[in-house]
Structure 1
Amino acid sequence: MAQDPPAKLQLSVTGGYRQENLRWSIAGNANGQNPNVLSELKWKAVAGPVSGMHVQYNFFNHWLLEGEYEHTFYLSGKVADNDYGGNNRTNSVYAQQFNANKGGADRWLAGLGYHLMVTHTFSITPSAGYGQFHQSLYLVGNTAPINDLNSSYKTTWSGAYAQLLCATGLTKKLNLATGFRYNQVRYKASANWNLIREFSHPESFRHTANGYGINIHTALLYRASHIHSIGIKGSYSQWQTGRGIDELYLASGEPEQTQLNEVRSSGWQVVVEWRITLKP
């Protein structure tokens, strides 16, 4: 069966809503003084509008280049700061909740893929490349005496990815596509705890670790014309690290290190997609 070549150029623009959670913990409390305390931060339901763009260009036979960028504006969310005695979660020695209704996230990737038509209506496109995911998370106070609280935690998940996209034509005008992407990443984060005088500013501590990320996405598109398609797309992502290093920077100039136990982040989104397809 002869294989049809992929589109010469495919451009998608998306817009919708995204929600994320992130949690990290270290073997030591927030001021770095007591290694027998487990310190944990949890950002919950940090959410807001998301917009993005995806480009796919067929440059030779079935080989293609792909690129993607996405930005999320955080407009709502909460963050819980907890310390537990005895390096476990059974004896709470400090607990406080703050707002997390500012900041945002950026995600981009670039890679090389191969489009293979299995049948006239079903295709698979494996691809591989490099990508980064950045998050700017905050702890914001809204009541006295913490109304000056404006602490930040900024993350970077970066590394190679491998992806498999499967697409099938349900009807002549309706198309369903599902993709799975795996990222092997290096995690880095930098924080500024603005109200703690004992900490250095603008960088109070830094986290580093190795980890991975997965993303599952599904899109249902209706072909309105030979060029234009419109539809809806949903996705879920999860990121996780193993043990790493928490490096604390003190105002005295003496850095301290303790164990970063793990970092976990997850998120989901629903967007409307508008796609332009140009044939050879």
Structure 2
Amino acid sequence: MPMHRYYLLLSLYFISLAVHAQNPKQNPKQSPYIIPYTTWDTEEFNWDIAGNESGKFPNLLSELKWKDLSGPKLGIISGIPITPKLQLKLEFSYKTIISGKVNDSDYAGDNKAVKTAEFNLQADKGHSIKTSLELSYLLLNRQDFTLKIHAGYLGYYKTLYMLDSDTPLNKDKKLNSTYKPRYHGVIYGLQTSYTIHPWQATLDISGIHIPSYLANANWNLREELQHPISFTHKSKASGYNLDLRLGYHISKNLQPFITANYTQLDASKGTDKLYKINGQTHTTQLNRVHSSNFHIGVGMKILLSLL
């Protein structure tokens, strides 16, 4: 998302804040809660490297594109009040990849001018883990409207596969290569909720800063490379997260909901370090890493203080 659009969305939040500040009625203090949820998750993930450390000869040497990495995700969110306005929020989710494709292409000329190899492979295996630990502060708490700011730690741990398609690459050995990205960084944003009883809509807009993007790969059919770490990636990344939830209060403490979420992360130029079996290493430029993720699903918000 272009930064000016992100700032526009933030501006809309504060306009809403000004409008709802006219309402003098206050809601009760925050309650502890848990939110179990399940979603269907689909992700695109790709990266490419250049021929040398300067990003040349060629400017794009190899490109990996994972497409439609789909599967069920299970997660849980917990909110623990610390003060009437300050709350600790924890989240953990686990996705199992059950379908997907990956394209592996190599080039000999700049701007993909000369393609030297291309493989269309399976990627119907793997998993993705998300963890976060945040503090949120309640800026405004009205009967029909709340506004919070939040910030904290965010981590992603993924294992992506390259597997044989209908025609094996090697008749004597199965393709079972892995790429394991690790993100560690900060998430920060605003969350607003509108209530027209018994309905409640919640929108969260967050920015993501990843000072440490790390990945290692095991290319199991490449006998000239070391195993289990054939090469590593190192870079920095940034992105954003949009989360929309529509809930319906069936009682004072239970709120089933439907949810939709989109997350995008992009890594800047970094390093690709290749480890050969003879002990030599070769370093090239990691041009970029791009990940986009969408999920839709259902969950239940449970207010513990009202049980």
1:105-129 deviation per Cα after TM superposition (whole angstroms, max 9, x unaligned): 0001001111233532111110111
2:42 to 19, 25, 30: 19
| The structure with more strand, counted as a fraction of residues | 1
In the alignment, structure 1 residue 181 sits paired with structure 2 residue 199 = no
Q: TM-score, normalised by structure 2?
A: 0.86
The letter of the residue matching 1:160 is: V
Query: What is the Cα deviation at residue 213 of structure 1?
Result: 2.1
The letter of the residue matching 2:35 is: S
- Which structure 2 residues correspond to residues 20-169 of structure 1 after superposition, within 5 A? 20-28=43-51, 35-36=57-58, 38-142=61-165, 143-146=167-170, 148-169=174-195
Query: What is the Cα deviation at residue 135 of structure 1?
Result: 1.4
Partners of 2:29 and 2:137 in 1: how far apart?
9
The letter of the residue matching 1:20 is: E
The letter of the residue matching 2:222 is: I
- Structure 2 partner of 1:272: 298
The letter of the residue matching 2:236 is: N
1:125-171 deviation per Cα after TM superposition (whole angstroms, max 9, x unaligned): 101111101111000014334360000000011111112111000x2
The letter of the residue matching 1:49 is: P
Is the Cα contact below 8 Å between 1:8 and 1:59 reproduced in 2? no
Query: What is the Cα deviation at residue 2 of structure 1?
Result: 5.3
Partners of 2:168 and 2:213 in 1: how far apart?
35
Query: What is the Cα deviation at residue 279 of structure 1?
Result: 3.8
CA gap of 1:35–1:254, structure 2 versus 1, over 3 A, is farther
The letter of the residue matching 1:156 is: R
**In the comparison of the two structures, how many residue pairs are matched?**
275
Is the Cα contact below 8 Å between 1:175 and 1:221 reproduced in 2? yes
1:176-215 deviation per Cα after TM superposition (whole angstroms, max 9, x unaligned): 0000111110210000000000100000000000111211
Partners of 1:206 and 1:167 in 2: how far apart?
42
Partners of 1:5 and 1:250 in 2: how far apart?
62
Gaps in structure 2 of 5+ consecutive residues: 1-23
| The structure with more helix, counted as a fraction of residues | 2
Is the Cα contact below 8 Å between 2:162 and 2:175 reproduced in 1? yes
The letter of the residue matching 1:176 is: A
Identity among equivalent positions (%) equals 31
2:254 to 220, 224, 228: 228
Partners of 2:29 and 2:47 in 1: how far apart?
43
Partners of 2:114 and 2:260 in 1: how far apart?
39
Partners of 1:104 and 1:45 in 2: how far apart?
13
Partners of 1:254 and 1:94 in 2: how far apart?
24
Partners of 2:302 and 2:141 in 1: how far apart?
23
The letter of the residue matching 1:172 is: H
- Structure 1 partner of 2:197: 172
Partners of 2:116 and 2:94 in 1: how far apart?
37
